[in-house]
Amino acid sequence: MTDKPNKAAPGDTSPSELTARLAQIRAQLAATAGPELAVTAHEIFCLVLALCRGHENPADPRFAAIVMAAAHAANGRDAIAFVPGFPPGRLTIQPEEAEAGTDASWPEGIGNLCRQLALSLTHAGNTSGGREQLAYLEAAQCARSVSDLLSGHALSG
Amino acid sequence: MISGQRARFGQLLDAGAAALEQPAGPRDPGGEDLQQACIALRKVIAVMTRYLRDEPWNPALSSKPASRPASPWDLARTDARRALFQASAWLTVGAPREPPHRRDPSWLASRLDSAALALAAGHDLLQTHFTRSAAGSRHARTEWAQVLASPAAEHAMLAEIGQLSSRLAVHGARAATRPGWRASPDSRQRLNAACQTLWGLSASVRAADDSEPLPGQVTELLRSIPPSLLPPRAAPERTESVTDLCAGATLAAERSRRAAWRSGPEASWSPAMSTASLRLLAGSSVVISHNNHVLLTALGNAQLPNTQGELHAQLVAAADATAKMRAAWLNAAHALDPFTADTRSQIGPMAASASDLALWTGRLAYDDPDWHPAQGPAADHRSSEQLAATPETVRRTINAVHHASYALEFLATAQHRQMQAASASGRILVPTHTVPDTWDIPCPFAAAPAERIDHLLDAYTDARHASVEATAKVASVAEATGAHSTVLQTAAALTDDVAKMKISTDRSSDRKRLAAIHHVDAGPVERILRDLEISDRDLLSRAADVDRIGHQLILDAAERQTPGYQRAVRNISSNVGTAATINRVLPAATASQAAALQTRDEHLIEPDPEH
């Protein structure tokens, strides 16, 4: 009755690679605005989904949080794809290959990234209107949920 | 505070029986009035008649079996209805029109009145699971209605009525034949005749039971049926004991079952059928399975008092089956990843109840009063000692795990059904660029093709099968430990055939419907008719003819092109709609026709025919 250890999936990312990638994405996120923000947010949600799927190990004490974070990441990805004017060619709804093999602190890194993403999306939502605002704010809520789940912040029921 | 204790039908039956056995009060020195007892007995019989009057077979609830010879239980039912009618007639015919003055009712009449009241409450409790249409037909309101409409439950009800008849007959006949009662000989005779009829009823039911014995579990199931109304939704606080948490998890599981049972066709239009709902439900189901696994593993590691090796093996098997259930639900969650829906953020009742159940089972599985899925690695599993402190805590824990597992069966079935309804309405979407080129859809998302939906449906079917397997393993533990949840297995056995039938037929018909709408070989005219959901064979055939004539016209026109003619439009397939038509024509084209129709690239140097 023991759970199997996390198996390495294709497309493993080493800790340093992921850290560098996250730093690059954060810088990109800080620099983007307008329609490009939607594309960057979409890419971030896809990355989070792939990372979560690659780390769904029942033996991990964070198993439940990671499973739920994956659901919120997929919801965020869908929400941002409905921003009017989102380039259809950038839609990558088929998830990337699960990413595994990163260091144990990846949830904190992703949690922080998603917190920053939530702020950017909220700002974009508050400065737009109509369906665009709805999509941005919906995606911001998803980013917040991922951040809370992966950072270990308890949510209200 | 958890209100886990709800009235059960059996408690009201017992209250009725207990009322008859109350000790007699001080007797009236002048003798008790027998007529009062007759009137009270008639009331009890009237309530019993109501139990048997409800139609046993309702097409809305379950399919009526093909014509078959009357079974002993069918005969018993007919006998019972006749006997109750006859007994009531004995007590009515010849009775004084004016009821006797009830200032000082007889002790037997008081007992019978109490029994009638308890039985009427029991009947009302069962009726809360049904509703009546304006036309008067009875329909299911809850998942228990299917159980109640099953023949086995009806037999169990007959058995209860038979036992009650026997008790009533004893009391009534005693009053009719013994001194101390004020009554005319005629009244005594009529009461005695009514009681003999009740004994006859009891004998008919016993004969049916001898011929086709009624499993004890069915009687237990019938007696355990609660009223339809569930207590209000409650989130766990920090103060619950293990017993409270078990009760809360059980109630949350019941709520999930109800929500799953009620879901269905509305998925074709309801905004509550959203991607957020689908993913929250799948994720919560993974967490519930995981929590169940943690609990079963903890119990498997416990030093249970009077433990037999067999129970330990059953717990290990149940934990393993639960791990498979978790994997199947995780697979269903993954299968949802490539899809979205036309509504996204609204959370439906099924997903909300599953989320509650995940929280309650988590609070039970982890030794942290603040446990939440967002909890970091700090949360420890609840110790085996806490869960197995007494045989009663073991029973309650297994009861909660069993209810949660059974709820997952319902949720998987309901999700499957919802997905069918939503996809048939074109509400499950994929990016347009991922669907076949022949689809001309001018928007970013398009209805998911049938074969991709099939993959998703397969994942839910697997989740259901794994949930059924896990529930069966947990049921064997429940039986070994004496947990009350064993009735769930009986309920599943009575209703499972109907549920399975619904899944298989619905799926095949929906797949055909999807295939019909999105027929990839259809020409443009035929596709328009299919998109309009025209199913008339003649109209579709005419549309196909028009498309064929159009194709032939294009081929004939291509044939008439002069060799070497340079047409003005370089690529006549540049438009998606035109390309689809040309692509459909090309397989039947001759070499010259194909050459005339295909795309020309001015950058390509055509080979010199001389070389």
Residue to test with chain A: of B330, B337, B353, most A Cβ within 10 A: B337
pLDDT of residue B425: 84
Mean pLDDT value across residues B419-435 = 83
Residue to test with chain A: of B375, B435, B477, most A Cβ within 10 A: B375
Min Cα–Cα distance to chain B from A111, Å? 12
pLDDT of residue A156: 39
Mean pLDDT value across residues B53-67 = 54
Mean pLDDT value across residues B30-45 = 86
Residues 6 or more apart whose Cβ sits within 8 Å of residue B171: B20, B108, B111, B112
Contacts of A78 in chain B (CB under 8 A): 275, 340, 344
Which pair of tokens denotes residue A140? 């911001």
Residue to test with chain A: of B342, B359, B372, most A Cβ within 10 A: B372
pLDDT band of residue B449 (cuts 50, 70, 90) is confident
pLDDT of residue B112: 93
Do B164 and B157 form a contact (C-beta atoms < 8 A)?
no
pLDDT of residue B253: 96
User: Among B284-293, B492-501, B601-610, which stretch is predicted with the lowest mean pLDDT?
Assistant: B601-610
User: Among B185-189, B314-318, B582-586, which stretch is predicted with the lowest mean pLDDT?
Assistant: B582-586
CB contact under 8 A, B344 and A82: yes
For chain A, 157 residues long, give each residue's pLDDT as a single digit of tens: 444 434 344 345 566 677 888 888 888 888 887 778 999 999 999 999 999 999 999 998 889 999 999 999 999 999 998 888 787 766 665 555 555 556 677 888 899 999 999 999 999 999 888 888 999 999 999 999 999 999 876 443 3
Cβ–Cβ pairs < 8 A, chains A and B: 117
ipTM: 0.86
Using the Cβ of A157 and the Cβ atoms of chain B, whether some distance falls under 8 Å is answered with yes
pLDDT of residue A10: 37
pLDDT of residue B468: 94
pLDDT of residue B572: 63
CB contact under 8 A, B362 and A64: yes
CB contact under 8 A, B377 and A149: no
pLDDT of residue B430: 84
CB contact under 8 A, B374 and A1: no
Using the Cβ of A104 and the Cβ atoms of chain B, whether some distance falls under 8 Å is answered with no
pLDDT of residue B100: 57
CB contact under 8 A, A71 and B280: yes
- Total Cβ atoms within 10 A of residue A144: 21
pLDDT of residue A155: 45
Using the Cβ of A131 and the Cβ atoms of chain B, whether some distance falls under 8 Å is answered with no
pLDDT of residue B607: 44
Query: Helices marked H in B6-149 — which ranges?
Result: 9-20, 34-53, 72-92, 107-127, 144-148
pLDDT of residue A90: 66
Answer whether residue B394 shows pLDDT above 90. Answer: yes
* pLDDT tens per residue across span B140-186: 889 898 888 888 999 999 999 999 999 999 989 888 888 778 888 88
User: Among A17-31, A55-69, B237-251, B535-549, which stretch is predicted with the lowest mean pLDDT?
Assistant: B535-549
Element (H, E) at A64: helix A63-81
Q: Which of B190, B185, B178 is nearest to B88 (CA)?
A: B190
pLDDT band of residue B60 (cuts 50, 70, 90) is very low
Secondary structure E strands in chain A: none
Please state, in angstroms and rounded to a whole number, the distance separating the CA atoms of residues B589 and B585. 7
* pLDDT, chain B, mean: 82
Q: Which of B111, B123, B103 is nearest to B172 (CA)?
A: B111
CB contact under 8 A, A95 and B337: yes
Using the Cβ of B248 and the Cβ atoms of chain A, whether some distance falls under 8 Å is answered with no
Nearest chain A residue to B443 by CA: give it. A88
Answer whether residue B509 shows pLDDT above 60. Answer: no
Mean pLDDT value across residues B68-85 = 88
CB contact under 8 A, B431 and A88: yes
Percent of chain B with pLDDT over 90: 41
Min Cα–Cα distance to chain B from A29, Å? 24
Q: What is the pTM (predicted TM-score) of this model? A: 0.77
Mean pLDDT value across residues B268-275 = 84
Do A93 and A81 form a contact (C-beta atoms < 8 A)?
yes
Q: How far is CA B567 from CA B111, B570, B598, B599, in A?
A: 102, 7, 12, 11
pLDDT of residue B437: 56
Nearest chain B residue to A58 by CA: give it. B290
CB contact under 8 A, B444 and A81: yes
* Minimum-distance CB partner of B373 among A53, A81, A149: A149
Percent of chain B with pLDDT over 70: 77
pLDDT of residue B524: 76
